[in-house]
Amino acid sequence: MVGLSNSADMDVMTIPDYAAQMESFQRSDEARQKLLADVLQRYAMLMQEHTNLKNDYASERDIRRNYQNEVIRTQRQLAEIQRDLDANSFVLALIDGDGVIFQHQYLLAGANGGSEAASRLQLAIREHINQFYSNSGTWPIMCHIYLSLDKLAHKLAQVGFLRHPQEMRAFAQSFSVNQPLFSIIDVGHGKERADYRIKEMLRTFSDNPTCKHIVFGGCHDAGYLLNLDQYKHNEAKASRITLLETTPAQQGFAKLPNFKKTQFDTVFRWEPLPDISYASTQAPSYAPVQDPAPIQASNPVQALARMKTPISVQAAAPAPAPMPTSVRALSKTSPASTPAPAITSPPPTASPSTTTSSIAERYNDASSGSGESGGSWATVGKNGANNEIISIASLKNNSKKRYAYYNKEGQRLDEPLPPRDRNATESIERRMEKAGRNLCNNWHLHKAQCPNGNFCRFQHEPKLTPAELTALRYKTRSLACKHRNCEDFDCYLGHQCSFERDAGRCPYPDSCNLKSTHGMDKTKYVRYDEEGYEEFSK
């Protein structure tokens, strides 16, 4: 029994530890489950990353395709733009006509000369441009010549390059018609007007890609140097500008680097205009034959300017000394450097009743009708003229001359109005209140002319009395003219504050319609008459 007990005990003791084994199995299963879960998690992450990369690739592929399409489209547009630029390319010529003068044979030919001058200038520009551009044969040429037509016409007539100042207008019209893009542009009276327009055109077109080249004709005026100086170190821009030299160029233009230079001697004069003088005893070889018809003009100087050749001198009389005159054409030089025209000696058939001295006296009397002091303006001299006789068919000096006054800056100055009548002021106020309409300023103050005619919504009739006209002028003078350098002799608007001019200060500094003129120079520096002649204040 004892042996059996021991055997039973041994079997019991040798029985495996199933609980431990089960625990081991459980740990193994948990490890396997954890491994499997980790694998599945990593797989899910890889799948997500794969999906993202796949989407990124698709997006990049689309972007790449869109970029390629955009490049193709941009290249196509660039090619079209380049074709448009080539199709719209042109050459621009900017010429200051106050100093660049056509050859005299064109000017003397009148309208035919203007047409021929345009053709010659077009050919000269074309030949010059073809030297630098291989494809310039199809480029149109645009030419703008800026000048004061009336002043230049009088000056050319005085030196014998025109038979009559009016022929300059026919010359200009024919010049502009001959070539579709050629124009002679009249800038009117006033200082630096041609310069201002040329400088603005140069600034506008120097960066214009369709403007392939610019021919600049203004080397006679040093005022353009500052505008060209900004391009001298930019070779790309400077090489697109040609300096056209006619009369000897100012020294500063010769020092500008990178600019091209040329001369059109077959079109423009190389020498400056001769001094204005009628004292020469021989006519130039190109001067036309004198018209035997009597010359009539509103003043003697104008009559002399219309003569077609210098007046012949009597055999017994010596040539008179030049006589200074206040009538001269505008120039860009100072008053002291402007040559003064001289009165000519008379023909043999002159009337014994009229001498050069008496003509000067009559013209001086006529020009003093503006109310200015004779000592404050340059007047016609009476000394140095011989008593030779000159033929003038008619001498009309009974009309009072009118002047437009300007300061040194070229700004228009207003003359004071006559005293205002209170009753006249109240009369026009009642009239406007009763009619419910204002008076038409154009009709009443501008030679009874109104562009709207019978359709004007303002009052025309009845006409105003002189006192009422003065009262209306006071009202319109309170409105500012938009042109600071206005040249309209009949302009009824204000160009400077009358309060500041007359009293030294304006009582309405913030609400004054002419507050932009406050502080302007009120000193009269130059005045122009209606024929375009200038006089400088002493």
Segments making up each domain of the chain, as ranges: 89-262, 276-404, 413-522
Q: Please write down the HEC assignment for all residues of 176-204.
A: HHHCCCEEEEECCCCCCHHHHHHHHHHHH
- The runs of H, that is alpha helices, within 212-338 are 225-229, 235-238, 251-254, 300-306
| Section 359-376 average pLDDT | 40
**What SS3 state is found at 50?**
helix
Better pLDDT: 477 or 300? 477
| Run of H or E including 260 | strand 260-262
Q: Quote the DSSP letter at residue 129.
A: H
Tell me the pLDDT tens digit for each residue of 248-277.
888 888 888 889 999 999 999 988 888 654
Whether this prediction's pTM lies above 0.85 is answered by: no
Tell me the pLDDT tens digit for each residue of 518-531.
989 999 999 988 87
Going by pLDDT thresholds of 50, 70 and 90, the confidence category of residue 7 is low
What is the biggest distance separating any 2 CA atoms in the chain, rounded to whole angstroms?
A: 193
Taking Cα atoms as reference points, which of 322, 295, 299 lies closest to residue 386?
Answer: 322
| Separation between Cα atoms, residue 413 and residue 409, nearest integer Å | 11
Going by pLDDT thresholds of 50, 70 and 90, the confidence category of residue 8 is low
Going by pLDDT thresholds of 50, 70 and 90, the confidence category of residue 395 is very low
pLDDT for position 454: 82
Tell me the pLDDT tens digit for each residue of 278-289.
433 333 333 333
| Section 136-152 average pLDDT | 92
Better pLDDT: 311 or 108? 108
Taking Cα atoms as reference points, which of 220, 215, 224, 152 lies closest to residue 187?
Answer: 152
Residue entry with tokens 């080249």: 213
How big is the chain by its Cα radius of gyration, in Å?
44
User: What's the whole-number average pLDDT of the chain?
Assistant: 77
| Run of H or E including 147 | strand 141-147
pLDDT for position 47: 93
Share of the chain above pLDDT 90, in %: 37
Tell me the pLDDT tens digit for each residue of 405-427.
999 888 899 989 999 889 999 99
91 pLDDT more than 50: yes
| Separation between Cα atoms, residue 82 and residue 133, nearest integer Å | 16
- The runs of H, that is alpha helices, within 89-166 are 104-108, 110-130, 149-158
| Section 5-15 average pLDDT | 57
Taking Cα atoms as reference points, which of 371, 353, 366, 359 lies closest to residue 398?
Answer: 366
Tell me the pLDDT tens digit for each residue of 320-364.
333 333 333 333 333 333 343 433 333 333 333 333 333 334 334
pLDDT for position 394: 40
Tell me the pLDDT tens digit for each residue of 452-464.
888 898 998 888 9
Going by pLDDT thresholds of 50, 70 and 90, the confidence category of residue 9 is low
| Run of H or E including 143 | strand 141-147
Tell me the pLDDT tens digit for each residue of 429-477.
999 988 888 999 888 987 778 888 888 989 988 889 999 999 999 999 9
Encoded amino acid at 86, one letter: D
pLDDT for position 315: 34
| Section 70-76 average pLDDT | 92
Taking Cα atoms as reference points, which of 538, 535, 534 lies closest to residue 154?
Answer: 534
| Separation between Cα atoms, residue 147 and residue 177, nearest integer Å | 17
50 pLDDT more than 90: yes
Encoded amino acid at 479, one letter: L
